[in-house]
A and B are shown apart, each in its own frame.
Chain A
Amino acid sequence: MLQKTSAEVGGMGHSVKRKEDLRFVQGKGTYVDDVRLPRMVYGQMIRSPYAHAKITAIRTEAAKNHPGVLAVITGQDLEKAGLSWMPTLFHDKQMVLATGKVLFQSQEVAFVVAEDRYTAADAAELVEVEYEELPVLVNPHKALDADAPILRDDREEKTNQIFHWEVGDRHRTDQELQTAPVRAEVRAVFQRCHPAPLETCGCVADFNPATGRLTVWETSQAPHAHRTLFALVAGIPENNIRIIAPDIGGGFGNKVPIYPGYVCAVVASLQLGRPVKWIETRSENLQSTGFARDYHMTAEVAAEADGKVKALRVKTLADHGAFNAAAQPSKFPAGLFSVCTGSYDFSTAFCEVDGVYTNKAPGGIAYRCSFRVTEAAYLIERVMDVLAAELQIDPVDLRLKNFVPPDKFPYQSPLGWTYDSGNYQAAMNLALEKIGYRELRKEQKEKRERGELMGIGVSSFTEIVGAGPAHTFDIVGIKMFDSCEIRIHPTGKAIARMGTKAQGQGHETTFAQIIAQELGIPVADITVEEGDTDTAPYGLGTYASRSTPTAGAATAMASRKIREKAKKIAGHLLEVSAEDLEWEPGKFYVKGAPSKAKTIQEIAFAAYTNLPPDLEAGLEAVHYYDPPNLTFPFGTYICVLDIDKGTGEIKVRRFVAVDDCGNIINPMIVEGQIHGGLTEGLAIAFMQEIGYDESGNVQGGTFMDYLVPTAVETPNWETGKTCTPSPHHPLGAKGVGESPNVGSPAAFVNAVVDALSHLGVRHIDMPITPWKVWQILKEKGVAE
């Protein structure tokens, strides 16, 4: 157990108010669009109106001759520099600006640079592009048909199949499914959706011809990885590239990849020798960058008659759009999807995923989750409910019967993961108690008798976060460690830098709390900086809830290195051997003589003024942490909702979320992240969808059509926690930002299906809109 520091020091477990807020509440943050440089010019993208079309001509003269226009860049121009295509983060390549043909609506075709943004927009209208429409492939189920158009004629393989991937024991799983007394199946689509952080993507690229240095202010969740990729792709020496990720207005995975707009701005700046700003509009953001999911899944469970599960078979079709721009660094094409056995003790399982190309925007990124974990958690939690309905067992009882028991941890899952720790019963029991589950079931029964529709949905998810162990995760070969560098100043104040980059997570506060915990230096005396590749140690960035599991661990380890040195200095100052010293947060004292002590501040001063002869000056440390395993946060969520039979409207009445993320750094921040993640889960369950019509026209391409919840639709969330520390993390912490988004969609959907289960409803695909519900009510003859 961690020793609790005083409130003034503010170590782990204190709800320290956030250091970053003082600038944000005064409008003094610096987001990319706030960066204004002398002689800065503006870029505007020209995009394809068609989903699949040959480009027969691009005429740029009129735009080039427009007053104030400095450059018009096309794919052909980039081709000369070898930059018309760029590698994606997962073994594919992507067009920067289209050459030959376009493959999705809103694809990048040309880039105009002008003195101001209005002139750039005017000039974009003057670029004439001639297209010849080609047959469009929208439905992934038709992608492998013999008569399907082959979309990627740039590839050697003349097929729309990107990959086939399988894991587990196919033969044994098939056998179990054939012979099991009970079988349950669900076919579920996890719709295409978009993280839509409130700040869109953008950059300011500034190439200085005099020094040969390129500085890019960029909305990047992974600035160091971007620097290396820019160096590899554009051939600029890495020491001449500086990426600065300033304040970021939310990321949720959207800001992990490199997008064509960044590359075009860099090319334009290299060409013009002036800073070039490019900022997406919201519509461009929704239509072209960073979509998530589009997983078409089938799950089958084999079980005994009493509900004990035996085997799980999962088959999935993954629609990646025009390019496989999956922003995921695992060795597996479907990321961590094979965590799909969830919290349940299956003896065998088999999972296969086929990835295909379609004429849709490329992706998919991990929207507020580790790679494909939301899909996996949703699927298993859905099929468990279908099994419960088949068996007419309460879904809670079915889960309790099948949980991996606490004494089985570390648990080897049948699909190859080693869950580090867990106590699923404890989280479930707390959630049941908090919501008053058994009473709610009674109420539901009475309501049903009166013809009212009330549903209770349970989801007992297991997350897998903290990418990751170097043996399983890398980006272009770079291992997925993360880092921290700490410098203690002579006056006992400190600055620390990490390879991660917050987008709202509050690292300036929480990482300072880790140092406060380890060294006893008050949080107020510690400055945390991230995002500048010239100053921060190398790291792989913030996503997949990896910051605490990796950089957080590195921060603890770097602090401990400093403490080791501090101990030697304290021994010197107190004229005792270091072995005779005891530590309590903030000071070393002599064993048995607590009044003979030196504070960390006194030691810091001595590190620069009065050192033992055998020690180097200074008090600093760097640590690169490669986690031995991932961490496995978990929880139980319960949703209670009522359905209006007249309108199909759903009202979430209560929602209890019990999370277990191990030891907590800042309870206030953890709770805030849970509120936010649940709200995104609500949005996905009921509102958010990036749809396409048959011609490949995007249907959710603006905030008028892509619905995100306001304060009115969002209910009050009730939270609770259990604590099962990670056995391998130096602080026993696990990461939490994504759990609520991973675990909650199933709770919402399970609740809606539960409300309608007596009418024979077993599954409804998201987003569950009032119109969808009303159609079901009408079909079942209960609409009013």
Chain B
Amino acid sequence: MNGADHEAEVEPRLLLIHFIRDVLGLTGTHIGCDTTSCGACTVLLGGKPVKSCTLFAVQVDEQELQTIEGLIENGQLHPLQEGFREEHGLQCGFCTPGMIMAAHALLKKNPHPSEQEIRRGISGNLCRCTGYQNIVKAVRYAADKIK
């Protein structure tokens, strides 16, 4: 998890999101629904975005995970974190960690996405505050900065 090894014994039915939040104590990843619809719980599994409410913790044994807490490097905000603040891509902040992780996966796969590609790339993540327009700008900001 975020570059460090963790060992824990868990019930087979423990959801990955509860493992992340309750066992590892990483509460940056949130829970917004119970039907895999909202994407608030998005984390990266082997670099790919997954909704951690719909995986069991045991399914990710021996694999590499990244959450919002693992995005900051040497005390420097990731360009996506910076972009979300600069472009006002968040309001209540609840969807933000999942949204940033989804965008992170998108930019890894497609470093120069068009507006439509950004919109499709984050369409598994719901935001109730921003109307997405500034989130699109924030992702574009990060794409330009990473370039």
Q: Which residues of A contact B (CB under 8 A)?
A: 17-18, 20-31, 33-34, 36, 117-118, 195-200, 247-250, 252, 281-283, 503-506, 668-669, 671-673, 675-680, 702-704, 708, 710-712, 714, 716-717
Task: Give chain B's interface secondary structure class.
Answer: loop
Chain A: which residue is nearest B91 at the CB level?
A: A504
Interface digits, B29-57 against A, CB 8 Å rule (1 contact, 0 not)?
11111110110100000000000000000
Q: Tell me the nearest residue of chain A to B28, going by C-beta.
A: A27
Whole-angstrom CA separation of A247 from B128 in the bound complex: 16
B77 at the interface (CB under 8 A from A): yes
- Which B residue sits closest to A200, measured CB to CB? B32
Instruction: Tell me whether A118 and B28 are in contact (CB under 8 A).
Output: no
Within 8 A of A (CB), among B111-147: 118-120, 122-136
Closest 4 CB pairs of A and B: A27-B28, A249-B94, A504-B92, A24-B93
Contact with A along B66-81 (1 / 0, CB 8 A): 0111011000010001
Q: Please, could you name 16 A-B residue pairs with CB atoms under 8 Å apart, sorted by A?
A: A17-B88, A23-B93, A26-B68, A28-B28, A29-B94, A118-B13, A199-B30, A249-B94, A506-B91, A672-B88, A675-B133, A710-B124, A710-B125, A710-B132, A712-B120, A714-B132
Shortest CB-to-CB span from B105 to chain A, Å, is 15
Distance of B41 from chain A, by nearest CB (Å):
11
What are the residues of chain A within 8 A of B132 when measuring CB–CB? 675, 679, 710-711, 714
Give every chain A residue within 8 A of B96 (Cβ-Cβ): 24-25, 27
Q: Are B130 and A676 in contact (CB under 8 A)?
A: yes
Instruction: Looking at the assembled complex, report how far the CB atom of B19 sits from the nearest CB atom of chain A, in whole angstroms.
Output: 12
Verify B93–A20 contact, CB threshold 8 A: yes
Q: Look across to chain B and name the residue whose beta carbon is closest to the beta carbon of A27.
A: B28
B34→A702 contact, CB < 8 A: yes
Inter-chain contact A250/B35, CB cutoff 8 Å: no
Which of the residues B27, B85, B92, B136 comes within 8 Å of A22, measured between beta carbons? B85
Docked Cα-Cα span, A168 to B91, in Å, equals: 40
B32 touches which of A21, A117, A199, A680 (Cβ 8 Å): A199
A21 contacts B84, C-beta separation under 8 Å: yes
The reply to whether B88 and A197 contact each other, CB–CB distance below 8 Å, is no
Complex partner residue of B35 from A673, A704, A717, CB under 8 angstroms: A704
Asked whether, in the complex, the Cβ of B119 is within 8 Å of the Cβ of A281, the reply is: no
| Chain B interface category by residue count | 35 or more
Enumerate chain A residues within 8 angstroms of B118, measured Cβ to Cβ: 711
A residues near B13, Cβ cutoff 8 Å: 118
Measured CB to CB, the closest approach of chain A to B53, in angstroms, equals 10
- Contact assessment for A198 and B35 in the assembled complex, using a CB-CB cutoff below 8 Å: no
Q: A27-B69, A197-B128, A281-B34 are in contact. Are A250 and B92 (CB under 8 A)?
A: yes
Beta-carbon contact of B35 and A703 below 8 Å? yes
In the assembled complex, which residues on chain A have CB atoms less than 8 Å from the CB atom of B25? 36
With both beta carbons as reference points, the residue of chain B lying nearest to A683 in the complex is identified as B128
Pick from B22, B90, B122: contact of A25, CB below 8 A.
Answer: B90
Chain B residues proximal to chain A, CB less than 8 Å? 11, 13-14, 18, 21-22, 25-35, 37-38, 40, 67-69, 71-72, 77, 81-82, 84-86, 88, 90-97, 100, 118-120, 122-136
The complex places the Cα of A417 from the Cα of B66 at a distance, in Å, of 55
Distance (whole angstroms) from the CB of B121 to the closest CB of chain A: 8
The residue on A at minimum CB distance from B93 is: A24
Q: In this complex, what residue of A is CB-closest to B82?
A: A25
Looking at A118, A198, A250, A281, the one whose CB has the most chain B CB atoms below 10 A away is: A198
Query: Do A702 and B92 touch (CB < 8 A)?
Result: no
B13, B34, B81 pick with most chain A CB within 10 angstroms:
B34
Chain B residues contacting A703 (CB-CB under 8 Å) are: 33, 35, 37-38, 126
Question: Are the CB atoms of A31 and B30 closer together than 8 Å?
Answer: yes
Is the Cβ of A198 less than 8 Å from the Cβ of B32? yes
Chain A: minimal CB distance from B95 (Å): 5
List A contacts of B35 (CB < 8 A). Answer: 282-283, 702-704
- Counting chain B CB atoms within 10 Å of each CB, the highest count among A248, A252, A680, A714 belongs to A714
Write out the residue numbers on chain A whose beta carbons fall within 8 Å of the beta carbon of B94. Answer: 29, 31, 197-199, 249-250
Q: Which residue of B lies closest to A15 (CB)?
A: B88
Task: Please give, as numbers and ranges, the residues of chain A lying within 8 Å of B131 by CB-CB distance.
Answer: 675-679, 714, 717
Docked complex Cα distance between A371 and B48 (Å): 44
A647 to chain B, nearest CB (A): 19
Asked if residues A282 and B129 are in contact (CB atoms below 8 Å), the reply is no
